[in-house]
Chain A
């Protein structure tokens, strides 16, 4: 069965541009979370969405935004990119149906964003 999928795999942008990252959760999962992982560090929580509503937000500036669609897929948008936004962006899903339980967050392979 398909796990969490993310697109694109890699992305190169320049400072000041904006970027949209996409995530499709495991079938049956209604919750999607986004994390930023800077090289050499653990992931940091950015957003959580459940049933299209924002359930949590981490300590990130307003340049970061996200949304969840009726099919439970999600987009993460980052405006006015800075060099420090270079990172691996991870999406995770969880749910009460499909794979695992709501206690378990399953991660996608991530999108590697490089800002030049």
Chain B
């Protein structure tokens, strides 16, 4: 079955790098996503990666994918207080298809 797991909490200091990790169990996953959710808000799509890629960089965000270990990570460089939020990873088998989400990682950035 499908299962996406994330650690619950991460605390970093402003200016440091943050690394949020995610593991998934279904090797059929084709697309892997990172979403950000601020309190009381919906989900904001940050970035996504195809399963045939190892890395994707987008400004301060770097996504690394280890298909062998079914491990996905999101690195945020120069973390700011505005990055404090809950981060969800999600997997999907086909473009535009249903997303299976992890439980979310709460990132706290201390000034």
Contact = CB atoms under 8 A, between A and B. Distances in A.
Interface of A: 4, 31, 33, 35, 41-45, 48, 50, 55-56, 58, 90, 92, 94-95, 100-110
A107 B31 contact: no
Nearest to B98: A45
Given A41-B103, A104-B48, A48 B43 contact: no
B50 to A, nearest CB: 8
Contacts of B59: none
Nearest to B31: A103
A31 B96 CA distance: 8
Contacts of B88: 42-43
A19 B32 CA distance: 33
Given A33-B98, A104-B45, A107-B45, 10 more contacts: A43-B101, A50-B96, A90-B43, A94-B96, A102-B95, A103-B31, A104-B48, A105-B45, A107-B44, A108-B42
A45 B100 contact: yes
Contacts of A56: 97-98
Interface in B31-47: 31, 35, 41-45
A103 B92 CA distance: 9
Contact of B101 (A33, A42, A101, A103): A42
Contacts of B102: 42
A43 B104 CA distance: 9
Contact of B96 (A103, A108, A109): A103
Nearest to A43: B101
Contacts of B19: none
A94 B96 CA distance: 6
Contacts of A4: 42
Contacts of B35: 107
A104 B99 CA distance: 10
Contacts of B45: 100, 104-107
Contact of A109 (B4, B41, B48, B101): B41
Contacts of B90: 42
Contact of A105 (B4, B99, B100, B103): B99
